[in-house]
Structure 1
């Protein structure tokens, strides 16, 4: 297979115990996995030296690597001082775990970056990301902010304001389409200096609304009467609005040759969906 990109899968997407999910990752033809470590059997706080060694052995036996560790603690990202008091230290611990698992990337949602740079939320998010980014850089890791809640130009400006070598981007092309109606191909060029990991996902925008409204719904557990399917729909790769040929060519043009990690967040048959996605990507690269 061409080494233009590497293909990854998110183990949680298989909805199986970790070791079984690793076997499925091999079966579908993945080269790497993204590992959620914020809850469940793989929560970061459960990793002692023995567990780290066991997981690394399981990966080595299967010829897999960790493309990224997901340290997304949910809620309002890093928008509030109260949440940041525990999320920032926890995120540093996740960065330490990433190093032990041989990964240089921690992905996370940080909340919705305000366009008003003078507001308190912007300053709070900036401070948290600066602290996390500087720590990450000191241990050889990049905190990769997942795209979606804001347009690419807003995110780029925010990252430049943070000014830390340990802050980068996890580019999710479907999120840009489904939430902000942004162009993923142009986003590659806008964010080219910061992309360290990507998600392979597809979808469509049905009806526009404020991104803050969408992410508040996720953060607060559906307090507002909101049906996501009224606004956007995640779809199998190639069936949504992501122009994958142009998108992948843009990634190549900027020099990115890392992971396209398949994220499938819905569907009744995750294994079949993921296998189909791997085959789709292989046909493109």
Structure 2
């Protein structure tokens, strides 16, 4: 069995608790760090003054935790809509600024399904991501696209059109298994030059599904977070506790070691009646590889 030295993270929203309560739970289950949603409410960058940011970072530090990344997913169609994009780009930049204030250089997001043909949607996504890549490059940070809507090879072909590595990858093996059927082991090798953060999640694909029906697309009805969670329990795929799905973690973690990835393995649990129990088990599952 491969031996990993990667730190273990938890998405605070997975506990379904207020941020500070979730931070305490993350510490209790044995995590090294946390990933925090930063798009609305108390974590909206517009609602956090410089003093509030310092106080929050000090509190996280006092728990012995780090921030592995922020979640900056603004929903809808990602960056496919020309009219919505200027405001989304501006807010994404502010979330990147907040990330640095909280001690991380990574913001993860969904940008929308990348079309296979170079049409107006592709062009708009490319234009928006280029601007965000340049901004992230200027900070020495990363705006990281979560894998899932498209195959690793197709995502890499899109990333290769951008300047630098400012727009990078948040690799989620379960999304690949559940939606496209792409192999996460080969996928992380394909995207190795872009991977800056990962999610640790498991699942199974129950039937073929059009990725547009999961992630939405301009001209399609956008999927809400709640609808995606519902689909994960009654739809074409199922998210499952670690080790119970179709992600081959022995091979996947070996590939992580082989590509030299030393960043966070961040647990995400979007379904289930006992998230704290599932997350604690997930931490223990990962620790088997340490």
Q: TM-score, normalised by structure 1?
A: 0.95
Deviation at 1:111, TM superposition (A): 0.2
Equivalent residue number for residue 222 of structure 2 = 219
Unaligned runs of 5+ in 2: none
Q: Residue 283 of structure 2 is aligned with which of 261, 265, 278? A: 278
Q: Residue 235 of structure 1 is aligned with which of 240, 243, 249? A: 240
Q: Does 1:183 align with 2:186?
A: no
Structure 2 CA distance for aligned equivalents of residues 130 and 164 of structure 1: 9
Equivalent residue number for residue 104 of structure 2 = 103
SS at match of 2:288: helix
Structure 2 CA distance for aligned equivalents of residues 165 and 111 of structure 1: 19
Q: TM-score, normalised by structure 2?
A: 0.93
Deviation at 1:227, TM superposition (A): 4.9
Sort the Cα spacing of 1:169 and 1:220 in 2 relative to 1 into closer, same or farther, 3 A.
Answer: closer
**Given that residues 78 and 125 in structure 1 are in contact (C-alpha distance below 8 angstroms), is that contact kept between their aligned partners in structure 2?**
yes
Superimposed CA distance per residue, residues 242-276 of structure 1 (whole angstroms, 9 cap, x where no aligned partner): 00010001010000011000000011111101001
Instruction: Show structure 1 runs of 4+ deviating over 4 A.
Output: 220-223
Superimposed CA distance per residue, residues 31-61 of structure 1 (whole angstroms, 9 cap, x where no aligned partner): 0000100123222221101210111111110
**Given that residues 130 and 164 in structure 1 are in contact (C-alpha distance below 8 angstroms), is that contact kept between their aligned partners in structure 2?**
no
Deviation at 1:163, TM superposition (A): 2.8
Q: Does 1:209 align with 2:212?
A: no
Equivalent residue number for residue 36 of structure 2 = 35
Equivalent residue number for residue 193 of structure 2 = 193
Corresponding pairs, count = 281
**Given that residues 99 and 140 in structure 1 are in contact (C-alpha distance below 8 angstroms), is that contact kept between their aligned partners in structure 2?**
no
Q: Does 1:45 align with 2:53?
A: no
Structure 1 CA distance for aligned equivalents of residues 68 and 184 of structure 2: 21
